[in-house]
Structure 1
Amino acid sequence: MVRFAAIAFSGFAFVASAFAAGPWDGTYVYEQGLGKGAGGISLFVTHTLTIDGPQCRLKAEGYQTNERIRCNATVKGDRLEVSFQSFRDGSTVNRFGVKEYTINQPLFTLARKGDGIVTTWQGYNRNGIDTAGLPTFRKL
Structure 2
Amino acid sequence: MSAKLMVMLAGLFGFLGVGFGAFGAHALKERLTPDLLAIYRTAVEYQFWHALALMAVGLLAMSRPGPLLSASGWCFAIGILLFSGSLYALALSGVRVLGAITPIGGLLFLIGWVLLSVHAARTL
TM over 0.5: no
**Between structures 1 and 2, the one with greater strand share:** 1
**Between structures 1 and 2, the one with greater helix share:** 2
Bigger-Rg structure (1/2): 1
Higher relative contact order (CA 8 A, sep 6+): 2
